[in-house]
Structure formats: C-alpha cells, structure tokens
Chain A
Amino acid sequence: MESAGLSLLTTVLFLPLLGALVLLFLREEQAGHIKWTAFGFSMATFFGTLLLWLAFDSSASGLQMVQRVDWLPQYGISYYVGVDGLSLLLVVLTGFIVPLAILSSFRSQIFEERGRIRLYYLFMLLLEWAMIGVFVAQDLFLFYIFWEVTLVPMYFLIGIWGAEERIYAAVKFLLYTMAGSILMLLAILFLGSRGGSFALPELIAMVESGALELPFTGLLGAGSVQSFLFLGFFIAFAIKVPIWPLHSWLPDAHVQAPTAGSVILAGVLLKMGTYGLVRFNLPLFPEASVAWAPAIAVLAVIGILYGAWVSYAQTDVKKLVAYSSVSHLGFVVLGIFALNAQGIEGGLLQMVNHGISTGGLFLLVGMLYERRHTKALDAFGGIWKVMPFFGAAGLVVVLSSMGLPGLNGFVGEFTILLGSMGSEVLGFFFTMFAALGIILAAVYMLYMFQKVFMGDVDKEENRNLPRLHWQEIAVLVPILLVILLIGLQPGPFFDTMTATVDNLVADVGEFIPRGEETVAALPQGESPVLVVGAQGTK
C-alpha cells in the first residue's frame, strides 16, 4: 500500500495545484480561458474524488489508499496521506462544492470593478488543494501546513473581492483563526517530540498501547498534560467551526466575502474544524474527550439556540444565513461529543448536509445580490412570482436547511439527537434544548423565506428581475439533487463511515466511566460498547 509512485489520492490532491500553476501561464485578458481552465481542473478533481469513493472499501475501518513518503525522517515527518470513513465524504464534498463555487463566479459582476480574474481563480484552486490536503493528511506536520495554507487564499478572496468592510473582515478572519491554530502547533510539537513521530496513526497506536503516556488528572489540573493538549487542538478547531463564544469572526467574514467565498467558507472550511475534533481530539485524547464532553456540549447547545435566535433578528439575508451556520454546526459538535456511533455518524453526515444546504443558501443570496445589489430582507418580496424556478429551488434549500423529513438535513439532525439522547456522557436535557433549536430553525428560515419569496411583488425594482441564466441553473440543480438523494437514500453515505466510527467509538468508549454492574452483567466476549449502542436506539 505504501508506495512512492503517484497514487490516485495524491493525484486528486495535487490536481487543483496543477490547475493553479496552469493559470499562471494564461494572460489576464484571456478571461474565458481562465474561467474554463479553473472549472475544468475542479471538475477533474471532483471526478477524482468520486473515483476515490468507488475504490473505497466501506467494510474496512483503517486508512485506505495510503501513500507515505519520507520527508524529514530525522524528525519523524513524512508525506502521509490516506482516507477513511471520517474523511471520505468530506473529500467528496470539497470536490463537489468547489466547481459549483467556480461556476457561480462566472457571471459575477465583481470583476468589472475589481478585476484580477486570474488571481481569483488561482486562489480558488489553491484553496481547494489545501482543503483536500487537510482532509487527507495523516501526518500532523503535513496537516498543520495544509491547515494554515487554507488561510491565505481565503484571506485574499475576502480581502480583494469582498464587500465594503472587506479589509476589516479579512484581517479579523486571518488573525482570529491563526491565534487558534498556533496553539495547536504547540500541541502538535509536544506530541511529535514525545512520540518521536508526527504520523497520526502511529501516535494513536502509541496512545492506545500506553507507549505514549499523556497523564490526565482532571480538567485543568497542573499535571493534566492530556487536558491541555486537548484544549490546544480544541481551541483551534472551535474557532474554525465556530463554537459559541468564538464565532464572532464568522458573520463578518461571511457577509463581506464574495458569494463563492461564502459558499466555500460555509461549505467546506468550517467543516475542517468539526473534522479535526473527530480526527484528532477523540482518538488522541480519549480521557480528556470524555471529561470535557459535557462542557463542550453545553457550548454546542448554547450555540444552537444563540445562532437561531440571532438569525431571526437579522435584517440582512446573508447575515441571517451566516448565523444559522453557528446554530447548525452546534448540532454537529453536539453529535460528536455524544461519543457514540449515532452521534458521530450523524455529525459527519450533518457536516456534508450543512455544506450543501448552506452552500446552496449562499448561492441563492448571491444570485439575488447580483440582480438587486442589496441583501436587505426588506428589499425583497414576491420573488417567487418573478423568478419561478429560483423560488422553487429556494424552497427546497430552505426546507433542507431547517430539517424537513425526506430531505438531507433531517437525516443528520435526527441521528445526532438520537445519539445525544442515548449518550452516556450527555442525555435528555442536552437533547431537549437541541431539539428546541430545530423548531427555532423553522422559525427563522420560514420567516426569511416568507419575506423574500412570498407575498406580492410590492417593490417596483423587483418586477423585472431577469430569470436565471443556464449557468445559474446548472449550479443549483446538482445541489437540489444531492439534497433529495441524501434525504431519501442516506444508507450509502452512512455505510462509508460505519466501520471507522465504530472503531473510534470503541477506543474512546473505554474511558467512559460506567457502573460496575453494567460491565459485570455483560456476556463474555461482548464489548460494552455494543450494548451502549443498543441502548441508544431504544
């Protein structure tokens, strides 16, 4: 499995970078060539990610399509990539979202004012490269590189092609997220020098076998190395997610970013945070994860309710959607820290769902903005009558975002609530408040839908809005299809992750304190985790 040749995964990873290099050889005036080159490379990457899925063996729990090449052997650093059930869907999601974001930029008017078309698509492809890198890197050094590198293109996308307050938003985005990730750097260095290797699977194995001892003596005890390392990673990821109260960069970044930037930000970039929690925090620091789970779940629930509440108060459509992300990602975090199979699987699926639904919402907002040059809720009304297909698409995406059964959002949120209900570390109260969030989501989403799409066309400016261009339809149709596909047929999506998640839950589950008799009552040979899983589905 471990070879130095060009594996499928490495090819997929470096295709966008290759595309970025090709763009360097085009001239600024060749706008058409630039656009279609960027789109072509991102589509090729998407097909590559689909091939990965085809080649993926869902029954195996370990890493697949592994490639490992020494990079800095004396420090235990290697180019080490692979996918497993935790990352496969996110890689595919990245491959899916980026071409749509690129296609949605084709008709953007922003270039008339700001120009620099080539640079724009260059950053898009660089961003895709770095994002896929984050999801496939299995070496902490490599992971950190990709993690930090995502900041730079996003910073420029917001800063150059953003709205009025773009500089403030871009700098805030960069400093905020960098402040978090740099503490993670220290935690990575600590782990790497203690373990003698930066390869994640090796470190996890060392943690499990006890070869790498990370003492845990309470949440913030003086010698509680594990707890501090956990926080080092957690804060970096929490800022990225963002988990309340570290979310304040998000509304600024989202509102100021150009449409495609918001789509990628909501669609993929935020998922890097939740992915990191599952990939690193849970397996590396199982004891700390168990101990911190309730506290983090409280933050998640606050985020769910707060995000929903604040969304409702917005008068700017884009800001409303931005705050709804805080709420939705609260669900994901809650699912992850339920620390059982349903919770984590629901969380992983919900990452994909949120990427598609919220990405779709940002695309819709962007299409409105291109026509009316405003994002104020009051400026619209009766849009469905003017743009029928747009209205229908809007309805589906909004319903998906608020979790209507039969669409994708429901599957994810329901599984998460199931997980949190059956969780040994959380329980009823968390579930109750989180479920409240679903109702609130219906409130603010329908409120928004009603203000924008329903009613009479009472504003003169809205009467003659142009209908959707075929390129815009081509952006929306795939999103609608996936929303329906996941909603009606979630099985194949869950299948990819089950084996990996079960394995993870078994490892973390060992550290969940249980009553003596529960364990004693178990039949020989049966792992306690399976029983927990059974309780969860009751």
Chain B
Amino acid sequence: MTDIPVLADLNLAWTWPVVGLGLGATLLLVADLFIPKERKRQTAWLALAILLVSFLLNLAAFTETDSAFFGMFVVDPFSAFLNLIALTTAFISILLSVDYLQRSGMQRGEFYALILFTTAGVMLMGHANDLVVVFVSLELLSIPLYILAAFRYPDVKSSESGMKYLVLGAFASAFFVFGAALIYGATGSTSLPHIFEVVARGFAAGGAPELLLLVGTGLVLVGLGFKVAVVPFHMWTPDVYEGAPTPVTAFMSVGAKVGGFAALLRILVFALPVLSTGAIEASAWQQVVSLIAAATLILGNVVAIAQQNVKRLLAYSSIAHAGYIMMALAAAGHAGFGEQATRAALVYMLAYMFTNLGAFAVAIAIEKGDGSGSDLEAFVGLGRSRPLLAGIMAFFMLSLTGIPLTAGFIGKWLIFQVTIEAGLVPLAILGVLTSVVSAYYYIGIIVRMFLRDGEGDPAAGGTRLVNGAVYLTFAGTLLPGIFPFLMIDLTRVVSTTLVGG
C-alpha cells in the first residue's frame, strides 16, 4: 500500500462534470486573453458551452454511485441532482449577465470564468465526502463570489457588498474549520463514512456522544449557516444582495445556498444521523435546527414586509426560503425520515431555483444601466407597459408564496408533509403561517404591477437573452406545478447512504 498513486487510482471516471468544469474555467481565463475587448460576449458563449458540456456529462452520470480521489469525492444521485441545480443556475445567471454587464460598463471576461469557478465550488460541495474537501469547496465557492459581489467597482455599494461578504465569509469559514477540527478530534477522522461509523459504534455501545463532537457539529452548523443565510447568521445578506450586481445576486441567492445546504445535508443527514444524546428517535442537532428554522421563517418573512427595494426584498425572501429548507433538515433529524426529507429539500431547491432566478430576471429587465430602478415602485404599472413580463413575474410571486399549480407549491407541499410525518407539527404550523405573511409582500409586487395605475416601466433591460431566461424559468416553474413528477421523479434515486468507507 505504499505504492505511489497513479492517475488511474484517482478513479476520475464520473468526476468529469466537476473536474471538467474547473479545467474549462481555467482554459476560459486563458482563452479570454485572445478575445478582443469589444467582443467579450464571445467569452460568455464559451462559458455557456462549457456549462452545457458539464451538464450533459452530469446527466450521463446521474444514477451512478462511485467514489474517487481515495474516497474523498463521492458520486451519487444526490450530488448529481445538486449539480443539475448548480449548472442551471450558472447558465441562467450568465444569460442574465451578458447584456447587463454591457450596459453597466462592466463587460470583462473574468466575470464568466469566476462564475464557472464558483459553480465548480457549489458542485464540489455536493460531492464532498470528507470535511477537508468540504472546506476546500467552501472556499472555492466563496472566493470568486467575494470578487463578483464587488464587480461594480468603484461603486461604493458594490465595494461594501464585496467587503462585507469577504469579512463575514472568512469568519464563517473559520467557524467551519474549527468545527471540523473538533470533529476530527472526537472521531479521529475527517472522512464522513468513517465519522459515521465511529458515531454509530458509540451509539450502539450506549454511551453519550463526546462533548467535543457536539460542539464541533454546532460550529460546522454555524459556518454553513452563514453560507445559506439562516437566522442568526443572516445579517450580511440584505446589504450584500443589494450592493452586488443583480445577476451576481441572482446567482448568490441560489448557488451559494444550494452549496451550503449540500454540505449541511451531507454532514448532518448522511454522516451524523445517529448523533444522539440518549433519545433514540431524534438526532441531537434536530432541536437546534428546528429553532434556527423557526427563527429564520419568522424573521425573514416579517422583515421582508418592510422592504422598499426589490433586491432587499428578495434577500429577505431568500432568508425565509432557507428557513423552509431548514424545516426539511429538522425533519431529517427524526430517525427514518432522512431520505424523504432530503428529497423534499432537493425538490424545494430546484423549484426555488427556477422561481427565484426568474424573479431576478424580471428585476434585471427593469433595472437601469446605472444600477438604479430596483425600487419596488419601479414595478408600478408594469402590467400595462409589459403585460407578458408582468404576468410571468406575478406567476413567480405566486410560486414563491406557494400557491398551487406552481413549482413552489410542490416544494412546500413535500416539506410540510415530511415535517408533519416527522412529528414536528408546531414547526409545520409556523411554516404555513409565515407563508401567509410572505403572501403579503409577494402580493405587494402584484398589486404594484397590476392594481395600481402608473406610467409603467418600459423594461428596457429585457433584452432577448434576459427574456429567454424569463421564459426558461417560467417553464421551469409552471410545468412541474402541473406535472409534479417532473421534479419528484428525479429525486427517486436519491439515497442517504454514505458511499465508501
């Protein structure tokens, strides 16, 4: 066993969607040097092509289960599903960016390469089978985003956004690393399958888990909680979302969250399901996660009501949606519900991705070149000036609220169902009540677009690419609403059994 590893030992076969994307991003940086300044759109087309290749490779690997890089990297339907979300997010974000960057005078090739790098980070989060890999992917996910958030340099708000994100993100990473170190101290390994075995053995022996392990898990939760923006680790969200260029905000609101939840699910549900302090039916982290979910639901939804800027509103709404996904995570803490809850969370994320990106696409369409025009008042009269765009936006708002015949309803349905089945009825009640609260501010946008009289914005930003993104996300929100199996069947192969060991 002391042989020097050769390339074949890495077992790269099914890792190409991620590895290829990373390579593609690097090549894109080089290729960009040869693309003249006034034709930077070509960089975007190349980036889209790379994403498409990665998407197809991922589809081919969809049902495979394998591990690579000596068990540190795992390929399973769970990661493949998350890859679908990550790649689609990146694809749509680039569609939204091309014209946006042009008219705001930020058209630079690095932008697209950075999007690809951070997407690779998101995907790697889903593949990580080792705490070290989680950390590496967390950084790969975050660092390009810090830069992207500040991309509207020298705009003060954008710089503030990048700076804030950097400082708080670094804090979060530190929490995560410390937590990972404590878990290593308690179990003697950073490999998730190994940690699972140690904890399960300890549970079978009947002893209480080590304090070290509990604290470590808590710190990991804090670190990742920052990334997914749940209360009380959400403070950065509204400012960062508001200041960042809107397509970046769109990407962040989905990509960063999906990455964070991928790691949370992998660590808590896959590796630590039996981390228990005596009670057999529930994991030790369930109560904490429930409390976080409850606080997130309340704060996100209530504070969103007061917002006057669509980007801030969607920031708080994204906090609230993280709360719903946390509900699924809390349900997963109940013995025997891990798989069902994980699937519910995955479906929810997919629905949320389409809907939220769509909402941002419309926001981009009415935003002005200098970054103004994202006040909610800008929506007044849109139903007259751009009826189709406004109608679709209204549909997105209904989907975010969770009205039937939308993808958002299917996601909420599954999450509420698993929460109830896992016996967390009070949390489910809170979830539905806060949905009603959320209706108030989502409907507020519909009121502005259709019910109030006004000039109506011409939505000059609604170029063909942006409209294409709007139609794409609309289809992704409407079709699963009518044919839910489109989303649900994709998760049927997902299992929460860890691979390797």
Contacts and interface: CB of A to CB of B under 8 A. Distances in A.
B420 interface: yes
8 contacts: A144-B404, A149-B404, A170-B447, A175-B436, A175-B439, A179-B436, A193-B417, A193-B421
Interface of A: 71-72, 74-75, 141, 144-146, 148-149, 151-152, 155-156, 159-160, 166-167, 170-171, 174-175, 178-179, 182-183, 185-186, 189-190, 192-193
Contacts of B447: 159, 167, 170-171
Which are the 3 A-B pairs with shortest beta-carbon distances?
A145-B404, A182-B432, A159-B451
B167 interface: no
Contacts of A166: 451
Given A167-B452, A182-B436, A189-B420, 11 more contacts: A72-B485, A72-B488, A152-B398, A160-B451, A171-B440, A174-B443, A175-B440, A183-B429, A185-B413, A186-B416, A193-B421
B337 to A, nearest CB: 11
B484 interface: yes
B339 to A, nearest CB: 13
A152 to B, nearest CB: 7
B295 to A, nearest CB: 20
Interface in B401-452: 403-405, 409, 413, 416-417, 420-421, 425, 428-429, 432-433, 435-436, 439-440, 443, 447, 450-452
Which of A144, A156, A178 is the most central at the interface, judged by chain B CB atoms within 10 Å of its CB?
A178
A185 B416 contact: yes
A151 B403 contact: yes
B416 A189 contact: yes
A148 B451 contact: no
B439 A178 contact: yes
B397 to A, nearest CB: 11
User: How would you classify the secondary structure of chain A's contact residues: helix, strand, loop or mixed?
Assistant: helix
A186 B440 contact: no
Contact of A189 (B413, B433, B443): B413
Contacts of A75: 417
A149 B403 contact: yes
A463 to B, nearest CB: 35
A189 B436 contact: no
B328 to A, nearest CB: 14
B428 to A, nearest CB: 6
Contact of B451 (A71, A167, A190, A193): A167
Which of B416, B436, B439 is the most central at the interface, judged by chain A CB atoms within 10 Å of its CB?
B436
A189 B415 CA distance: 10
Contacts, number: 75
A160 B450 contact: yes
A189 B435 contact: no
Contact of B484 (A72, A156, A189): A72
B450 to A, nearest CB: 6
A412 B264 CA distance: 60
Nearest to B417: A189
A186 B403 contact: no
Contact of B420 (A71, A74, A178, A190): A190
Contacts of A175: 436, 439-440, 443
A178 B436 contact: yes
Nearest to A162: B451
Given A148-B403, A170-B451, A178-B439, A186 B429 contact: yes
Nearest to A72: B484
A182 B432 CA distance: 6
A236 to B, nearest CB: 11
A190 B422 CA distance: 11
Contacts of B450: 156, 159-160
Contacts of B440: 171, 175
Nearest to A191: B420
A152 B416 contact: no
Interface in B449-483: 450-452
B366 to A, nearest CB: 20
Nearest to A146: B404
A104 B408 CA distance: 36
A126 to B, nearest CB: 11
Contacts of A185: 413, 416, 432
B379 to A, nearest CB: 14
Contacts of B398: 152
A166 B417 CA distance: 36
Contacts of B405: 145, 149
Contact of A174 (B404, B417, B421, B439): B439
A175 B138 CA distance: 40
A525 to B, nearest CB: 43
A185 B451 CA distance: 28
Contacts of A170: 447, 451
A145 B482 CA distance: 10
Contacts of A160: 450-451
B324 to A, nearest CB: 13
Contacts of A182: 432-433, 435-436
A183 B421 contact: no
B93 to A, nearest CB: 29
A149 B413 CA distance: 15
A471 B425 CA distance: 54
Nearest to A156: B450
Contacts of A71: 484-485
A185 B409 CA distance: 11
Contacts of B420: 186, 189-190, 193
Contact of B404 (A72, A148, A190): A148
A136 B329 CA distance: 36
Contacts of A156: 450
Given A145-B405, A156-B450, A171 B443 contact: yes
A159 B450 CA distance: 8
A179 B432 CA distance: 8
A141 B410 CA distance: 11
Contacts of A192: 417
B236 to A, nearest CB: 31
B428 A186 contact: yes
Nearest to A70: B485
A447 to B, nearest CB: 35
A149 B401 CA distance: 13
A129 B271 CA distance: 48
B4 to A, nearest CB: 49
Contacts of A152: 398, 403
Contacts of B452: 167
Contacts of A171: 440, 443, 447
Nearest to B418: A193
Contacts of A159: 447, 450-451
Interface string B381-405: 0000000000000000010000111
